[in-house]
Amino acid sequence: MVPVTARRGGALLEIVVALPLIALVLAVATALLLTQSRVTLTTSARTEASATLAQAAHVLAHDVRPLDGRDLIAWTDSSLYADVPVLVAVSCGAPAPHVIDVVMSPGAAEPLWHSHPLAGDAVRWAMPDTSLVGDRGADTTRVAVTLRDVATTASACSGAPLRGAQSPTRLILDAPPPDGAPVPPGVVIVVQRRVEWRAYRAADGATWLGRRERQGGVWTVLQPAVGPFEHVTAGGVRVRVRRRDGSEASSGASDAAVVDISLRALRRDRASDAIARAESLRVSVALRGGH
């Protein structure tokens, strides 16, 4: 029979030996858990930054892709002003010198309608034998008049062969065309709105890419469109405009061919990270007639 004191001594020895092993197992398990957590957070942060860049590429291309070099008004390293198309349609005719009826047609002739035309927008077309959707070098005459109002009654389109399921639209201009000649049927009509894209620093210190429009002669409030990005001084947002030969185009030049926008989206792998990392993307959009 084993004495009680001997059993107690053996149990104590077993505990003394087991404790370091338990601590080692717990340390290994904790290290594995922390490693897995860091990997998950890193992957999540990288995915979120990549999604930000993809969204930025989409919204920027939406405005920039339809532009002609002459639609770019001005730009800096971190901003871009342009006249962006909100409606592209085909004229049915002009019941009056200051009125243009346009047809909404589906299929191959379906117009671009990004938003509803508003008073103060610019109405443009090319005459007499060219169109804004062709090569810009062939647009010998380009007319621009300010839009005053929009109506749904468009009598000139009642028998238009291109008329589709959508209702035609009447564009009422501030004044007749400069030459006084009414717009004939079959001319491509483009309604444009002045838009600004600009990198700005929000109240929380993050850099965002904001967008605003000029409506009725007044700028809307700059709204955050996508972000956050690194600060502009760190290359978070950079705008470059190039000519066909790859050289830098000067602000307001009509020979612009390509818009390059470089973005660096911030990501933080851990909440306690003092070092902000970034994912990068370069968006290059060839302007209409510029490639």
The 10s digit of each residue's pLDDT in 189-223 is 889 999 999 999 988 788 888 999 999 889 999 99
Where exactly are the structural domains of the chain? 47-81+195-286, 83-193
CATH class of the domain comprising 83-193: mainly beta
Non-local CB neighbours of 142 within 8 Å, separated by 6+ positions: 70, 124, 125, 126, 132
Q: Is the dihedral of CA 267, 268, 274, 279 positive or negative?
A: negative
Rounded mean pLDDT, 171-175: 91
Tally of helices (H runs) and strands (E runs) in the chain? 1, 13
Rounded mean pLDDT, 65-73: 85
Interatomic CA distance for residues 217 and 174, integer angstroms = 13
Output phi, psi for 272, to 5 deg. Answer: -95, 5
CB 72 within 8 A of CB 62: no
CA 205 to chain centre: 22
| pTM of the shown model | 0.72
SS3 at position 32: helix
